[in-house]
Structure 1
Amino acid sequence: MEFDKSKSAGYLTNHLARLFASELQNAIRHLGIAPAQFMTMLELWREDGQTQKTLVQKLHVEQATMANTLTRMERDGLIRRKPNPADARSQQIWLTQKAKKLEGPATDAAGSINDIALADLSETEKAQFLDLMGRVIATLQPETGNA
């Protein structure tokens, strides 16, 4: 029996994610940030001063991946690390002014990619699509109950 990738949620989701990542990379490249940095910044724009461990948990990435991303972000002047007053063994990650100024342009660029990608869907279909994706993600991440 031949595998029908057009009926595989996993294949289609992976393909969609790669397309989004490529388009996002193209849209934010001129800002000097990469998609992994952008998703980290999204969390820090929402709540600055998180620990690396918290970012790993929220973004569902490997510790080593996050460490590399944060090292690049620090090198690029996007974050600074400060000792965590609640736990001397960890550091808090803080956005620099440079990174804070990128929030509008970066989120606008990401929003435009979403608009382009979903342009063929009605408002009802967009809402259904996002709801269904969220439910599937929640099913695959039962420990957190959300994306």
Structure 2
Amino acid sequence: MDLDVLSTPGHLISLAARGFTRLSEARLKPLGFGVGHLPVLVALRDGQASTQRDLARFAKIEQPPMAQMLARMERDGLIERRPDPADGRSSRITLTAQAEKQLPDAITALLKGNGEVLQGFSDDEVAQLVDMLTRLIANLDRVAGADTSAKPSINDVG
């Protein structure tokens, strides 16, 4: 089967992701949040992470971009850092009262946007789409992990 490259799942998912990002950013900006903040905010709210390392792992991003995002979030009054009593070299990160107050509105705005763009999809179709995307992400993580762990050998040259 010879697919047009612009009709491949990868390209279409990329277009959909960019569309979701634009929509979400427009709805979150008035609340003082960005799309990239959401995994951090939710992890902190739910107690799933409280250190930069844990947050980077949870959000599936590298440490340097996480450090930059946390610095901006601290500057914008969304998070606070306190010394970790168990490890003086580390900080515990918590949500500010401002972020806790605005997070429910942000989640509501995102869920509303999801509902609007999924108009015309049945509940079963939405569940199937979520299942397929979850499996796709797991496959991408597995393949990307295999690619980064594969080191070139002398036999790979030329």
Normalising by the smaller structure, the TM-score range is: 0.7 to 0.9
Contact 1:51 1:93 in 2 (8 A): yes
Alignment of 1:1-147 (within 5 A): 3-6=4-7, 8-47=8-47, 50-142=50-142
Contact 1:79 1:94 in 2 (8 A): yes
User: 3-state DSSP class of the match of 2:119?
Assistant: coil
Give me the whole-angstrom Cα distance separating, in 2, the residues matched to 1:77 and 1:41. 12
1:100-129 deviations in Å (ceiling 9; x for gaps): 001210000010111012112111111100
1:70-90 deviations in Å (ceiling 9; x for gaps): 111111111110112232221
Contact 2:79 2:96 in 1 (8 A): yes
CA RMSD of aligned residues (A): 1.8
1:5-35 deviations in Å (ceiling 9; x for gaps): 11x2221121111111110011111111111
Give me the whole-angstrom Cα distance separating, in 2, the residues matched to 1:44 and 1:114. 23
Moved more, 50-59 or 113-122: 113-122
Greater relative contact order (CA < 8 Å, ≥ 6 in sequence): 1
**Displacement, 1:49?**
5.9
TM-score (norm. length: structure 2): 0.82
Contact 1:52 1:93 in 2 (8 A): yes
Give me the whole-angstrom Cα distance separating, in 2, the residues matched to 1:122 and 1:105. 25
User: 3-state DSSP class of the match of 2:74?
Assistant: helix
Q: Which residues of structure 1 form unaligned runs of 5+?
A: none
